Structure 1
C-alpha cells in the first residue's frame, strides 16, 4: 500500500499537468476552428459579392440608384458600402456611394474596379451617367477619364496639387488635395476624418472635395459619416458636375488601391 500510495502521489501531478495541457490545447483548437469559420464566412461573402459579371452588376445596381438631382453631389456620403479581393498585384472591388439623407437606399453611385498587375480601370455610374477612370499604375501621375464614352480629360497628380487637363492636355483646373495627418489607417479615428480641399475649374471654385472615403466596417462609434463633396456651387454646369464626380471616383479608386 505504501508503494501504491507513493506511485499515486507521483502520478497525480503528472495527470494534472496532462489535463491542463489538454484543456489548453482544446481551447486553442476551439479558437482556431472559430476563426477559420469566421474568416471562411467573410471570404465566402466577398466571393458571393464579386461573382456577378461587372457589366451586369453595374447595370442592375445603377437601375436601383437614387435619381441624380441637383442636390445629389452634396448628398454623397463618404462611407463606402463595398467588397474587395486582392492578391498578387490583382484587385477587384465593387460597391456603392451611399446617400447622406437616405442611407438605407441603394445609394447615389455604383462603382466597379478591376486591376491586373496593378493596372486597369474603374467604372463609376449614377442613375443617368457613366464615367471610366484608367489606372495606369502606382507610379503613374496621370489618370485618363471618359464620361459616357467620350474623353473628358486627365487627372494629373503633381505633388500635393492635382491638375485637371482637357482632352488636348491643357490645364483647365486644379484640386488642392489636403495632406492626411497621423493615424494608423483603418484602425483609428483618422480613417474617417474628412480632409477637404477646393476644386477649381476654369478659374471658378466649384466645391470642396473630401480625400478620405471611409472603408471601415462598421463606422467607429456609429457616427454619421461626413460628405464626399462640401459646399458645391448652386449653379454648376454639366461639365463642372461631371468633373467633380470624376474626382470623387478618383479619390475612391486611390483609397481602395492604397488602403
Structure 2
C-alpha cells in the first residue's frame, strides 16, 4: 500500500479494561504514581482510573507512530534497536555484536539478547512478584547509520530532543548518552574520541560521546540508555493520605500489575528514538518531505 498524504489513523481497542479496582482508592494517591499532582493540577477532574493520560497505556500510540517512522529510516539505511541491559541488580555484561543484539533480543521474555543473563533477569522478576514487590532496570537504544551533522544547535540539539522524548515515556527516570555519567570520572585524554581515516571516511576510534557531539550526530552509532523505575503499583501495604478526609491512611494496590515494566518499555524506547531521528533527518533535508 501507499500513503495518500492524508493523516494516517490507527485505533487500538482495549477490550479488557477493568477500572473497578480504582473506585475504592480514588481518594488515596498511590505512592509513585501521578495521582496527587494530577489531582492538584486538574482540580480533582483527573481520571483516576489507572492513571488516565499518565498511564503506560498511552505508549501504544507512540509504538504505532514509531512503526511508520521505522519504515522511512530503513529506506535510508538507518536502523534503531533497543534492548534490556539490566533488570534490578542483574546486568548484561557480555559484549555482543549489533547483529547478535538485533537477532536475539526478542528471543527472551525480558528482551535481553544474552540468554543466560535473561534467565537470571526472569528469576529476579519472579522473586520480586512473590515478595509483592517490583523491579526497574536499564534499556539501551542503538541507532546505526545516522549520518554526521544531523541536529540543530542549542534548543533543538539532537541529543536534547532524544532525551526529551525518552523522558516522556512513563517510568523513565534518567537518560545518558555514550559513557554518560561515567565520563565524570574520566580524564579528557580517556574520554575524547580520536579520529582516523578508514576506507576514505572519517571515523572515531571510540564512541564515548554516544554518537552525538554539540547536539549534532557524529556519524558514529547513537547510544542512549534510560533508567526505568520499579513498577509503582505493588502488593505491599504503603503509607498514603485520604484526600477527602485529609487524614493519614494506608493503601494496598490491587488489580493487574506487572512486577517489571522494562520488557514492555523496550519497543516504546525504540519507537520514540525512531520518530525523533526521522523528524531530524527530514529537517536536515536528508529525507525528502515527499518520497517518490
Both structures adopt the same fold (TM-score exceeding 0.5):
no
Asked which structure has the greater CA Rg, the reply is 1
Higher relative contact order (CA 8 A, sep 6+): 2
Give the structure-2-normalised TM-score.
0.25
